[in-house]
Amino acid sequence: MPTPERTAGSGRRLAHPDREDIQLEAVLHALADPIRLRIVCELTDGHTEMACIAFNLPVSKSTSTHHFRVLREAGVIRQHYEGTARMSRLREDDLEVLFPGLLSAVLEAYRRSHRPA
Residue ranges of domains in the chain, CATH in brackets? 22-111 (1.10.10.10)
Are 116 and 41 a contacting pair, CB within 8 Å? no
Asked if 52 and 88 count as a contact pair (C-beta separation under 8 A), the reply is: yes
With 50 as the cut, is the pLDDT of residue 7 above it?
Answer: no
Predicted pLDDT at 8:
44
pLDDT of 10 > 60? The answer is no
CA distance 60 to 97: 34
Give the helix ranges, DSSP H, for 16-60: 24-31, 34-44
Per-residue pLDDT of 38-51, as tens digits, reads 999 989 887 678 88
CA angle 95, 87, 18 (to 5 degrees): 35
Does the pLDDT value for residue 32 go beyond 50?
yes
Instruction: Identify the band that residue 21 occupies on the pLDDT scale cut at 50, 70 and 90.
Output: very high
